[in-house]
């Protein structure tokens, strides 16, 4: 399970379907590539809300948009990508020092996030120039 150079990648989840409907199962160290210590979810976002605008020093996360849609902007200090999340069977795995922004939430968007660590404010880099300096020091 190698990560591409950008520090994030898309995970495709298996959908288990029978005559009753569909089910997706996510287990730590399997579909989610780490042991999950924290889960949080984002919903009822305000019109035109933008979230994120930070990077993490160590945290690994998988975000799944389980209802509606939203766009993640992912920036590794060199390349900036936009990923539209709009399906339950797809996760966005973010590992390493990636500046992330979230926008274009649909009114009904629900984003669930699995994290490998408990909430720790000291793991956040909230200023873009500090993020660029941090990334360049690591190269
Ligand atoms: C990330 C993106 C995708 C907590 O108390 N515990 C938590 O686990 C989290 C995630 C947040 N909070 C508090 C901290 C703030 O007072 O909830 C408030 C909103 O958090 P924040 O402004 O960081 O939310 P987002 O949507 O900008 O960012 C979140 C995550 O914090 C971040 O790790 O990668 O979602």
How does pLDDT run across 62-119, given as a tens digit for each residue?
Answer: 999 999 999 999 999 999 999 999 999 999 999 989 999 999 999 999 999 999 999 9
User: What pTM value is reported for the model?
Assistant: 0.95
* pLDDT of res. 3: 53
Token pair, residue 40, equals 């949080």
Residue 54 designated active-site: yes
* pLDDT of res. 138: 81
From 59, 99, 119, the mutation candidate for ligand 1 (largest count of ligand atoms within 8 A of CB) is: 119
Atom 30 of ligand 1, residue of closest alpha carbon: 52
From 36, 45, 46, 52, the mutation candidate for ligand 1 (largest count of ligand atoms within 8 A of CB) is: 52
CA of 17 to the centre of ligand 1 (A): 33
Atom 7 of ligand 1, residue of closest alpha carbon: 119
């Amino acid at each position: 399970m190698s990560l591409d150079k950008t520090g994030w990648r898309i995970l495709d989840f298996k959908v288990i379907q029978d005559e009753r409907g569909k089910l997706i199962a996510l287990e730590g160290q399997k579909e989610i590539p780490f042991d999950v210590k924290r889960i949080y979810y984002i919903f009822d976002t305000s019109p035109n809300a933008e979230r994120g605008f930070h990077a993490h020093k160590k945290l690994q996360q998988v975000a799944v948009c389980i209802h509606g849609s939203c766009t993640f902007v992912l920036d590794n200090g060199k390349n900036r990508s936009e990923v539209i999340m709009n399906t339950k069977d797809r996760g966005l795995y973010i590992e390493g020092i990636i500046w992330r922004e979230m926008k274009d939430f649909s009114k009904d968007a629900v984003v669930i996030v699995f994290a490998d660590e408990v909430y720790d404010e000291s793991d956040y880099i909230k200023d873009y120039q500090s993020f660029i300096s941090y990334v360049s020091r690591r190269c």
